[in-house]
Amino acid sequence: MYKLSQHVLRLVLMISVSLLLSWSPANASAAPAIPHPNELAQAVQEIEALATMRSGLASSLEGSTEVPTLQTMKEVCRPIGMRAIQLSQENGWQVKQIAKKYRNSDHAPDNLHAQIALAKFEREPELIGFWDRETLDQQTGTRYYRRINVEASCLACHGLKDRRPQFVKDGYPQDLAYNFHVGDLRGMYAIFIPDAIQKAIQNSVNQQQPQ
């Protein structure tokens, strides 16, 4: 946890510094600029909130003496998918969860970049997040990837195949997301920030601030 918050701080700091550097028009062409620093920082924060939300929901099941009801069982990962859709709509981003061993096939790797990103997280266990310049659906933009690790509280539903709750066995006949161990890479979040959106925001900001 300590490492994680350190990473986020460092990332936000890096983005802020680059924002400061690119502030002066003289520096803009000389210094390598991170595209959309503001939005990237916002995306990083939103994804941290999402990750915290999932851990919180999952750990509320853990150690509970009551047998979880169908409803509480369903309230762990599905709300994350719904929040991802909401974040996409609010910001003009595309927010997704992606996993090689997926439960919901909407979360299968969607292109070669995503496959490479998963392989990179697999190879580098210390890597928590990074971003890349990509073209998605014919739009250029920045895609931020953030790893998702398996925690003890996830095993109730992503542990041994035979121990999965009945609603998972029934609802996801093609399920691949089981037999995980604590610390395994579960998947990643992928947030695509299209350049066009950035331009639209920039234009409206410029209009509000007459030079």
Contact footprint for ligand HEC (CB under 6 A): 54-55, 58, 61, 73, 76-78, 81, 97, 99, 102-104, 107, 148, 150-151, 153-154, 156-158, 168, 177, 186-187
Shortest Å distance, C-beta 32 to ligand HEC: 32
Q: State which residue, 11 or 99, has the beta carbon closest to ligand HEC.
A: 99
Shortest Å distance, C-beta 191 to ligand HEC: 14
Amino acid at 44: V
Shortest Å distance, C-beta 25 to ligand HEC: 42
Shortest Å distance, C-beta 153 to ligand HEC: 5
Q: State which residue, 62 or 124, has the beta carbon closest to ligand HEC.
A: 62
- Contacts of residue 191, Cβ cutoff 8 Å, sequence gap at least 6: 43, 46, 47, 87, 93, 94, 95, 96, 143, 144, 146
| Rounded Cα distance, 152 and 58, in Å | 9
Q: State which residue, 126 or 170, has the beta carbon closest to ligand HEC.
A: 170
Cα 185 to Cα 105, 140, 164, 191, distances in angstroms: 18, 28, 19, 18
Q: Does residue 117 contact residue 190 with C-beta atoms inside 8 Å?
A: yes
Q: Which residues of 140-177 are buried (b: 16+ CB within 10 A; e: fewer)?
A: ebbbbbbbbbbbebbbbbbbeeeebeeebeeebeebeb
Shortest Å distance, C-beta 38 to ligand HEC: 27
The Cβ of residue 137 has, within 10 Å, a number of other Cβ atoms equal to: 10
Q: State which residue, 33 or 61, has the beta carbon closest to ligand HEC.
A: 61
Q: State which residue, 34 or 61, has the beta carbon closest to ligand HEC.
A: 61
